[in-house]
Amino acid sequence: MTKVKKAFAWLFGNFFSTLMVCWLPLLVIQNFLDTGDPDSWDYGIVILMFVALALMLVTDIITERRKIAKKNL
């Protein structure tokens, strides 16, 4: 149980912004699939939401790698 707590502490400590926004694409996809005839705005919002999530994940990974590199110096 302590390993699980440490894993969640590490995950929320290093990838907090990504984890707090990861549910937004699910809402966008649900709305996208719920509409009968999606238009260009629906496609654009879905694409932009996933691009934003990917960028947040990449910045969190870069930040974590910099922390590790700084710690190892």
pTM score, whole prediction: 0.71
Contacts of 38 (CB under 8 A, 6+ apart): 32
Local structure of 35: helix, strand or coil: coil
Task: For the chain, give every domain's residue range.
Answer: 2-72
| Backbone CA torsion sign across 18, 23, 25, 28 | negative
What would the pLDDT profile of 18-68 be if each residue is shown by its tens digit?
877 878 877 887 877 776 777 788 788 888 888 988 898 898 889 888 988
Q: By 3-state DSSP, what share of the chain in percent is helix, strand and coil, each rounded to 5? A: 85, 0, 15
